Structure formats: C-alpha cells, structure tokens
C-alpha cells in the first residue's frame, strides 16, 4: 500500500507506526538516517511497507545517523530526518542535536520510547530523552497515543524548518506506534505561540539606510542566516549596490562567492588578517544573519567600539545578546535585505576596500604563501586543499571535521556555490566530518563531495566507513594526518610551554582499515605524488580514502588568541 | 535615596528586582523549559508562581529575580523564544502591584499567655483562619517585608509552621499588554492547512 504525498488527504485506518511514515511522505521526506532497536521496532516494521518512497540509510552508530542527517540538511536546505530507539539509541543522538541547535540545522529526530504505561519506571532502555534533549532542541514532544502522531509530526516539521531552523525531537512511546488511528494529514501552517516571520520595522530600515548612506568605512559581516534564508541573491544585490566589503563567519562561507571582488575573507580566531584588523577601524558594522560568536569577536569589550552597529537577524534573542545594536532589523534577511537595498544609495568604497587588500599582502607574504606553496619538505594541509581547488574549480562541496584542517579548509577552499561548505561551527564536534560528508553526498549525489578530516576526528566516527561501503556513496575522504590532535597541540605549543599533554596519537594503518571496510585508498608521503593521487581520487567512481602525511608541527595562522582583541590578531608565534 | 533604592530593590551592584511574567500554552514540561534558561544564565529564581491566566487555555508564570537589567532582558527574550511561550515581559518594582500570602501556625497557648493577639492582628492587618486548643492559624497578605515582620513577631511565640507563597502581580498600566497581543494571535493554538 502506498500513498502519494500529492494526493488528496484520505482517511485511512493505520497503525501509529505507519502514520509516522505517511506523515514523513506527506511532508516530502524521502531519506531517513537511522538505527533500529527495541522501542522503535514497530516504526521499522512499517518502514518496510514504504521503502519505495522512503530510503533508509542504516548507519553504524546513532551519532553517525544524526550527523549524516545534518550533512544532508545543510546541502539540500531540506529537513534532515533521523530515527533511533529509546535509551542508548536516543542518548547517542544528543551530540548531533546540540550541534544542530547551535548551528541552526533543521532536523526531525524520531526516537522510540517505552510503552506509556512503563514511563518513569526505569524500564529496559528507558531514558528521559525529552528531559535530556530539552536544552538542546528547538522543540520536543513525547507522543503517548497513536492519534497524536499526524498533528505532532506536522508541527515538528513546521517548527524545524521555519524561523531560525533547528532540531526537533519527537519521542514516540511503543504503544502509540502499535495503536491504530484514522489517518488524515494536514500540514501545520501556524502556531499562535510561535512567530517565525516577525513584523519588519520600516522605521528601523530607514534608520539603517541612513547610517549606510553616510558611512565612510562600512563593513558587512555575513553569517549563515543568508544561506538558511536562501537569500544569496538578495545579499549579492545589497552588497553590489552598497559597495561594502564583506567578511564572513565560518558558517557564512559561500554566502558570497569567494572570488567576488567585495569578499575580503573570513572573520574570527583563524580568519584573515585584514578582516580582523578592520573590524576595529570601520565606522559601521552590519551583521547579516550572524550572532557575534566569541570566536568571531574575541574580547567583546574591545570589539568595534568605534562603530555603529546594524544587526539583521531573525532570532530576536540574538539581537543585543553579545554586541548591542544601534539599529536592529528583526526579520528574515530574505525579506529585509531587498527592502534595505531599495533605501540605500549606490556607492563604491574603493579606498576603504584597498586598505583590506594592502593588509592582505602582508598575510600572503607571512602566511598564505608558506601554506599553499611551501618551500620546506613536509607537506602542508594548505597545499593539499590548493591542488584540490585547481582540479574542482569551485564546483565541489567541502565537508570538514574539527581542528586545524577545518580552519585551513575554510580559509583556502574555493567556495563558489551556495551550500557548498559543511562544517561543525558552533559546537566544534570532532567526529562530525565523516558521517556529515556521507549525508551530504546522499543529498547532493551529482556533486563531488570532499571530506577534509584529521586523524583524530576520523577515528571518532570511523565506523561510518561501513555505512559508506553499504551505500557506495562516492565520498572522497582526504585524511590530513599529522599524527597529532593538531589544534590542541598548537595551543599547547603557544600557550602551555609546548607541554604536549595527551595529543600524540599512535594511529592504525588507515589504508588497511579502509580496505577492511571495502573502501579503496592511497597514502601520499611525498609532494611529487600529490597531484596524481588527488586526480586518481577525484576520478574514482566510488568512495575513496586519500591519506596525506602532513608535517607534524604546522600551525594555523593568523590567530586571535583567546581573550585578545580582534586588532591583536597575530601572524606568527610571539617570540 | 534610600527610598529609591528600596523601590527598585537595588543594592548598588547594578542588580535590581524584576517581576517576569510569561504567558504560555498549557503543556507538559514547559516549566522545565523555562527554568533551564535561568540555570544556564546562572540567575537565581527568588519566587515562582504558575497558574491559569484570565484567558482560557493560557498559563501565566510569575517569576521574581534579582539581577542586572541587561541579564534579565536576555533571559526574557530566551523565554519568549520558546515555541510554546506566547509572550514574556519584565517589570521593575515600580511598574507592578504585587502581593504574597503567608500562613503562620502558632501554639494558641503561647498567644493567649503572651496577650498579643489583638495588638498583633491589628498592627499587621492579619486574619485568623482557624483556632484550636493546640494551635491558631494566622494569614497575612502583603509584601515580603510585611510577612517577614509578622514572622519575626510570631517566631518569639513558638511558631509551629510557616509558609509563604510566591509573588503574584498585575501591572500598573491600565491594560494588560498581553491581552492586546492575544487578540491578534487568536484562539487557535495550532492551525493546519
């Protein structure tokens, strides 16, 4: 029996478990990442009846399922769906839920729960996942009756994808999965307690335009809100009319193509030199869909004190949270940017832009040149990324894990298209990369998906090689192996007198591990092997592991040390 | 100045007393969602009262905190961000009329022997709810300072039990801000296509 999502709603006598599947189908969901177990078994049984409409991807761990759903959501813009059983299955989702919450990723997580009559009795595999996930979900709900399922699923999807997106967890007691109901599906369109589209203040837009029109050194900070709102075009129009230089947060990468003349680079702790320095020289700071994270601001007390601040943001709780806004513009940037663009005058800020370029030369000389075209024998992460750039020409999707390679990838990878960079920004979740890259490839099968991962993070979710082997999703894994937890080691070198406490890793033979999982691989030890090895990886018609042996003690610069001001950004270790 | 200080409850540390009111759907677990926000921000809840509001199906949380205006404002926005919260407000001490209730259980013998009943009840504007040979129950409504003053008196007479409620409050503005908001929000909790 199949129900097409486009058909008229029909009343059907079904089980709660079937109602879960039908609800997902009605919402246009076609992919579920998950792992079965006792309390979710009725749902898994029903899934078999809908396998022609719902593709289920069996991961090797629930954390692998949720990170894959995140990767899928980030590249498609759709709601990622994952499913797990009660107790340990549900708790294994928590890291991914927290990651999705802080990075605003729309997810619906479905967990099984013990039967309603057993709730609170410490039944087998019972965990209060509603309580545990409450601080890290946008919304969650425990379903104890089958009849609740269609309406709650409709609310879950609505809440996850609207406003500032985020993860929703729906915990479904086993009796509700077994119970029967008359199924009829209607999408949720409004909740009176939740206003995802705020009313836009025209007065504030006018005030913002006045500030922009008279600013001499205006500066735009682009965040993920632009991408989440699908407002890349609106942003481009705003930027090109205003002529304002644009720097981006790590999640705002690809809000503007990297080679756009007004794109001056990345913000924050390991962002560019000019972007940090100019923050404390601009006269107007315009945050667009970003939240002034501490990795962006450095010391808040010494952050852009000289500048007026305009903050365009959909989440009211973010406005004035960290940096007070002289003019807040509460709303979806997809709606507010075009209104603002209409009110501003066409400008070019050539000499101001030139100031960035002049500082860029210093960074190129001191840092970038050595990262991308090293003269010393050891391979660098930057040169690997650079060779991949030359071959993929901005058309690939980059996924990263967390650490030094993540910073190198965000600094050097060439982003051209929207939604072509997937990384764990706010939570910094090691182990995110491999499953997220898998989910990204499932979501964007026609794109070259390249994972940059370190030897530490790779081993945190390495079991997902098994999932990748099962789906044969052609993820290209670039393992940048420096035999260290590199970012922690860098901090130990710079701030802890080179006391390398527990950062050296005795690693396995990764190529053999991959081979054991049925995945082809190759190891590069010398520079002259790099070009052809990367070509071979890109040409291979399936998943592939390219391990590159990286110089052990390389560091990421520039750097804004913890507690320092953005204007104290350094280009090399202090002597 | 001392009067002013008392009025806004400030002790010169930038902190003052605020009454937060939040209006929500009547759903399981919402109290937990709200208190998590205070925990994360390390704001202590001085008192908390939850009850049905004037509007059917809508619950009102009245929460008293003592902190800086900036922090309280951030907490209020986080509360309002919760999916099931319709609206949240914060009020300074001079913006609300508020009241607490206290119950005192005192040995009747001690009260009689002390010969303080009439004077105490008159002075504090208290009420006697119950008299038994073993004990008397006295009720007082008022601000915390007032219920505390009576506590200090009765504590000398072998107070058996004492309990004080959280604060309830109404705003001094003639119309509740929330009522006009709800007129726009409508009666339907959730609407489906």
Q: Which residues numbered 80-109 in B keep a CB inside 8 Å of some CB on A?
A: 80-81, 83-86
Give pLDDT, residue B178. Answer: 77
Tens digits of per-residue pLDDT, A108-137? 999 999 999 999 999 999 999 999 999 999
What stretch(es) of chain B map to CATH 3.30.70.260? 2-96+171-185
CA-to-CA distance for A90 and A130, rounded, in angstroms? 10
Interface contact B77, partner A, CB < 8 A: yes
**pLDDT number for residue B23:** 94
**Residue A240 confidence (pLDDT) above 90:** yes
In chain A, residues with a C-beta closer than 8 Å to the C-beta of B192 are 151, 154, 186-189
Would you call B191 an interface residue with chain A, using a CB distance cutoff of 8 Å? yes
User: Is B85 within 8 Å of A188 when comparing Cβ atoms?
Assistant: no
Mutate to test the interface with A, among B190, B191, B193 (most CBs of A within 10 A): B190
* A4-8, A25-29, A511-515, A552-556: segment of lowest average pLDDT: A4-8
CATH class for the domain made up of A12-183: alpha beta
With a cut of 50, say whether residue B3 has pLDDT above it: no
Q: Taking residues B9-33, report their average pLDDT.
A: 90
Active-site residue A358, yes or no? no
List the catalytic residue out of A138, A174, A447, A476. Answer: A174
Strands B96-107, B168-171: parallel, antiparallel or unpaired by DSSP?
antiparallel
Q: Does B181 touch chain A (CB under 8 A)?
A: no
pLDDT digits over A175-186, tens only?
Answer: 999 999 999 999
pLDDT band at B149 (very low <50, low <70, confident <90, very high): very high
Q: Which long-range contacts (C-beta less than 8 Å, at least 24 apart) are formed by B120-129?
A: B120/B150, B120/B153, B120/B154, B124/B149, B124/B150, B124/B153, B126/B150, B129/B103
Give me the catalytic one of A48, A124, A191, A512: A124
The answer, yes or no, to whether residue B2 has pLDDT greater than 90, is: no
Mean pLDDT value of segment A39-53:
98
> Helix %, strand %, coil % for chain B, to 5?
40, 35, 25
What percent of chain A stands above pLDDT 90?
Answer: 97
The verdict on a CB contact (< 8 Å) between B192 and A194 is no
Q: Which CATH number fits domain B98-164: 3.30.70.1150, 3.40.640.10, 1.10.3720.10, 3.60.21.10?
A: 3.30.70.1150
Residues of chain A with CATH 3.40.50.1220: 202-354
Give the N- to C-terminal CA distance of chain A in Å, as an integer.
Answer: 72
Interface with chain A: mutation pick from B71, B77, B192, highest number of A CBs within 10 Å: B192
Residue A108's DSSP bridge partners are: A81, A168
Whole-prediction pTM? 0.95
Residue A191 to residue B190, Cβ atoms within 8 A: yes
* Active site annotation includes A487: yes
Give the pLDDT score at A193.
94
Q: What is the model's pLDDT at position A426?
A: 97
Q: What confidence score (pLDDT) does residue A411 get?
A: 96
pLDDT one-digit tens code per residue, A396-427: 999 999 999 999 999 999 999 999 999 999 99
Nearest to A258 by CA among A246, A267, A241: A246
C-alpha span between A109 and A69 (Å, rounded)? 9
For residue B4, pLDDT beyond 50: no
Q: How is domain B2-96+171-185 classified at the CATH fold level? A: Alpha-Beta Plaits (3.30.70)
Q: Give the pairing type, strands A218-222 and A284-288.
A: parallel
Burial environment of residue A104 by CB neighbours within 10 A (0 to 12, 13 to 18, 19 or more): buried
Q: How confident is the model at residue B185 (pLDDT cuts 50, 70, 90)?
A: confident
- Which residue among A130, A139, A319 places its CB closest to the CB of B83? A139
As for the ipTM of the complex, it is 0.91
Q: Tell me whether A130 touches chain B (CB under 8 Å).
A: yes
Q: Count how many Cα atoms sit within 13 Å of the Cα of residue A34 in the half-sphere of its side chain.
A: 26
- For residue range A173-223, what is the model confidence (pLDDT) as tens digits? 999 999 999 999 999 999 999 999 999 999 999 999 999 999 999 999 999
Residues in A closer than 8 angstroms to B90, CB to CB, are: none
Q: Which of A102, A221, A94, A81 is nearest to A157 (CA)?
A: A81
Which residues, including other chains, have CB under 8 Å from residue B8's CB and lie 6 or more apart? B16, B17, B92, B93, B94
Rounded Cα distance, A567 and A271, in Å:
12
Tokens standing for residue B165: 């409620």
Q: Which residues from A are below 8 Å from B189, CB to CB?
A: 191-193
The pLDDT value given to residue A10: 59
Residue A248 CA to its chain's centroid (Å): 14
CA distances from A216 to A248, A281, A457, A504 (A): 20, 11, 44, 49
What tens digit of pLDDT does each residue of A508-546 get? Answer: 999 999 999 999 999 999 999 999 999 999 999 999 999
Answer yes or no: is pLDDT of A1 > 50.
Answer: no
d(CA A513, CA A505): 16
Min Cα separation A322/chain B (Å): 10
Domain with CATH 3.40.50.970 in chain A: 12-183, 377-550
Between B180 and A5, residue with greater pLDDT = B180
- The reply to whether CATH 3.40.50.970 applies to domain A377-550 is yes
pLDDT of residue B54: 84
Beta bridge partners of B142: B100
Within 8 A of B36 by CB-CB distance, chain A residues are 134-135
- Flag whether pLDDT at B156 surpasses 90: yes
Which of left, alpha, beta for A380 (phi over 0: left; psi -120 to 50: alpha)? beta
- Using the Cβ of A379 and the Cβ atoms of chain B, whether some distance falls under 8 Å is answered with no
Contacts of B78 in chain A (CB under 8 A): 317
Q: Would you state the CATH architecture of domain A202-354?
A: 3-Layer(aba) Sandwich (3.40)
User: Quick one: pLDDT band at residue B9, thresholds 50, 70, 90?
Assistant: low
Which residue in the set B25, B74, B193 is minimally distant from A189, CB to CB? B193
> Given a cut of 60, is residue A64 above it in pLDDT?
yes
Told to judge if A62 belongs to the known catalytic residues of this protein, a careful annotator would answer: yes
Which of A295-304, A333-342, B11-20 is predicted least confidently? B11-20
Nearest-angstrom CA–CA distance, B154 and B133? 17
Q: What is the DSSP string of A306-328?
A: TSEEEEEES-GGGTTTSS--SEE
Contact state of B192 with A154 under an 8 Å Cβ cutoff = yes
pLDDT, tens only, B90-147: 999 999 999 999 999 999 999 898 888 899 999 999 999 999 999 999 999 999 999 9
């Amino acid at each position: 029996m199949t129900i097409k999502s486009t058909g008229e709603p029909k009343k059907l006598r079904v089980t709660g478990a079937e109602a879960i599947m039908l609800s997902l189908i009605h919402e246009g969901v076609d992919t579920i990442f998950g792992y079965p177990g006792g309390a979710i078994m009725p749902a898994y049984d029903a899934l078999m009846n809908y396998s022609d409409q719902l593709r289920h991807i069996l991961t090797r761990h629930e954390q692998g399922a949720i990170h894959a759903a995140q990767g899928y959501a980030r590249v498609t813009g759709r709601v990622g769906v994952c499913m797990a059983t009660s107790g340990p299955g549900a708790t294994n989702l928590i890291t991914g839920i927290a990651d999705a919450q802080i990075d605003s990723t729309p997810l619906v997580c479905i967990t099984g729960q013990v039967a309603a009559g057993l709730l609170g009795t410490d039944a087998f595999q019972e965990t209060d996942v509603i309580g545990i996930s409450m601080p890290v979900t946008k919304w969650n709900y425990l379903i104890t009756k089958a009849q609740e399922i269609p309406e709650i699923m409709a609310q879950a999807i609505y809440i996850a994808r609207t406003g500032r997106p985020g993860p929703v967890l729906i915990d479904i007691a086993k009796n509700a999965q077994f119970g029967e109901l008359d199924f009829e599906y209607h999408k949720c369109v409004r909740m009176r307690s939740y206003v995802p589209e705020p009313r836009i203040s025209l007065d504030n837009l006018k005030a913002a335009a006045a500030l922009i029109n008279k600013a001499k050194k205006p500066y735009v900070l682009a965040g993920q809100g632009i991408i989440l709102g699908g407002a890349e075009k609106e942003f481009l129009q705003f930027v090109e009319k205003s002529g304002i230089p644009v720097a981006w947060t790590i999640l705002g990468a690809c809000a503007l193509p990297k080679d756009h003349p007004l794109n001056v680079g990345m913000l924050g702790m390991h962002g560019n030199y000019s972007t940090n320095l100019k923050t404390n020289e601009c006269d107007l700071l315009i945050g667009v869909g970003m939240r002034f994270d501490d990795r962006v601001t450095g010391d808040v007390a010494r952050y852009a004190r000289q500048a007026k601040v305009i903050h365009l943001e959909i989440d009211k709780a973010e406005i004035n949270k960290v940096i007070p806004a002289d003019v807040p513009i509460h709303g979806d940037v997809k709606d507010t940017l075009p209104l603002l663009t209409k009110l501003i005058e066409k400008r070019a800020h050539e000499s101001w832009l030139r100031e960035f370029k002049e500082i860029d030369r210093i960074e190129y000389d001191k840092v970038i040149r050595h990262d991308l075209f090293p003269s010393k024998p050891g391979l660098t992460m930057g040169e690997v990324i650079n060779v991949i750039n030359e071959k993929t020409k901005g058309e690939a999707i980059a996924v990263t894990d967390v650490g030094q390679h993540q910073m190198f990838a965000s600094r050097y990878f060439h982003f051209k298209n929207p939604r072509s960079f997937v990384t764990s920004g706010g939570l910094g979740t090691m182990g995110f990369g491999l499953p997220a890259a898998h989910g990204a490839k499932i979501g964007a099968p026609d794109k070259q998906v390249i994972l940059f991962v370190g030897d530490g993070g790779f081993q945190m979710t390495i079991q997902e090689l098994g999932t990748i082997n099962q789906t044969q999703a052609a993820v290209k894994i670039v393992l940048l192996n420096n035999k260290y937890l590199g970012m922690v080691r860098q901090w130990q070198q710079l701030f802890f007198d080179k006391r390398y406490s527990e950062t050296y890793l005795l690693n396995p033979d990764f190529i053999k591990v991959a081979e054991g999982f049925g995945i082809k691989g190759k190891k590069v030890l010398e520079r002259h092997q790099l070009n052809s090895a990367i070509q071979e990886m890109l040409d291979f018609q399936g998943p592939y592991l390219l391990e590159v042996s990286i110089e052990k003690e390389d560091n990421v610069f520039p750097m804004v040390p913890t507690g320092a001001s953005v204007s104290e950004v350094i280009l090399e270790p202090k002597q | 100045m001392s009067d002013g200080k008392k009025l806004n409850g400030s002790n010169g540390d930038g902190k003052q007393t605020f009454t937060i009111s939040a209006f929500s759907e009547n759903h399981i677990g919402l109290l937990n969602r709200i208190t998590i926000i205070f925990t994360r921000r390390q704001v202590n809840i001085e008192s908390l009262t939850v009850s049905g509001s004037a509007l059917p199906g809508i619950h009102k949380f009245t929460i008293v905190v003592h902190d800086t205006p900036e922090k309280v404002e951030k907490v209020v926005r986080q509360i309002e961000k919760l999916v099931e919260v319709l609206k949240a407000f914060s009020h300074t001490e001079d913006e609300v009329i508020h009241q607490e209730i206290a119950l005192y259980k005192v040995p009747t013998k001690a009260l009689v022997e002390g010969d303080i009943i009439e004077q105490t009840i008159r002075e504090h504007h208290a009420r006697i709810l119950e008299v038994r040979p073993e004990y008397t129950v006295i009720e007082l409504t008022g601000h915390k300072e007032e219920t505390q003053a009576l506590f200090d008196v009765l504590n000398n007479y072998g107070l058996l039990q004492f309990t004080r409620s959280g604060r309830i409050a109404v705003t001094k503005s003639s119309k509740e801000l929330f009522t006009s908001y709800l007129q726009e929000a409508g009666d339907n909790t959730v609407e489906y296509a």
